[in-house]
Amino acid sequence: MRRPSLILRILALAVFAFAIVRWVAQARQIAEERDEQKWTGRVPFNLSRQEGWKTSDYIPRQAGLYSVVLETQGRNWKPHPTLAFSGSFEIEILDPSGKLAKRKQVDGPSLYHTNENHIHWSGLDTVTIKASGSGAWKIRVLTSQPDANFTDMTSAIILQSPPRFDIGWAGFSGGIEIALIASSGFILLVAAGALLYFARRNTQGG
C-alpha cells in the first residue's frame, strides 16, 4: 500500500498546485477588470451655475454598450435639507469623426438626483461604441437651467465602459471553486495517510 499512498500524495500536491494557479489567475482577472472599469470618460461641471459647454476627450479601450452616468458629491458635511435637482442640463457625445452619436436633455423632475453629501450616481442613458482605439470621442455637457441647491456639490458626467463580468460574483464563485479544489487535495492527503497507516500496521502485524 506504500506505492498507492505515494501516488495519492503526489496527486494531492498537484491539486494544491492547481488551486494556487487558479487563485492567481482569478485574482489577476479581477484586478484587470477593476482597472478597466476605472478607465472612464469624465466631464466635471457645475449644476448650480451656467458656465457654457464643458468638454472632455475619451479614448475607449473596448467596444460595447457604454453607460452615461451623472455623479455628484458634497464638498462639505454641513447639515442641509435633501432636495432633488430641479434644473436641466444637456449632453452631447461625438465620435472621432465629429458625428453626433448621442444627444440628451435631462430635466431634473424626471431624474430625482439629490444634493446629499455622500457620493451618488444616476444612470442617464447608454451609447454604443463599435470600435476601440479609433480615436478620441468627445463628451460635452451644458447646464442649461442651474439649481442653486447644488452650490456645494461637485458633479460630473461619466462615460462608463461595459463590464466583462461582475467582480463581486467572480470573487465569490472563484472562492468556492478554489475551496472545492483544495478540499479535493485534502481528501487525497487523508486517503494517502490512511493507506500508509494500514500498510505499516500490516507490516507490523506480519
Arithmetic mean of pLDDT, 48-67: 90
Q: Residue 142: left (phi > 0), alpha (psi -120 to 50), or beta? A: beta
Query: What are the residue ranges spanned by the domains of the chain?
Result: 2-32+167-205, 40-160
Whether residue 112 is predicted with pLDDT greater than 60 in this model: the reply is: yes
How far is it, in rounded angstroms, from Cα 119 to Cα 158?
13
How confident is the model at residue 167, as a pLDDT?
Answer: 64
- With cut-offs at 50, 70 and 90, classify the pLDDT of residue 111: confident
Whether residue 93 is predicted with pLDDT greater than 80 in this model: the reply is: yes
How far is it, in rounded angstroms, from Cα 22 to Cα 58?
34
Whether residue 37 is predicted with pLDDT greater than 70 in this model: the reply is: no
Whether residue 206 is predicted with pLDDT greater than 60 in this model: the reply is: no
Nearest to 53 by CA among 21, 91, 83: 91
pTM of the model: 0.65
Domain 40-160 CATH (choose: 1.10.10.10, 2.60.120.790, 3.30.390.50, 3.40.640.10) = 2.60.120.790
Q: Phi and psi of 24, rounded to 5°?
A: -65, -45
Arithmetic mean of pLDDT, 28-53: 82
How confident is the model at residue 108, as a pLDDT?
Answer: 85
How confident is the model at residue 101, as a pLDDT?
Answer: 92
Locate 66 and state its grid cell: 457604454
Whether residue 131 is predicted with pLDDT greater than 80 in this model: the reply is: no
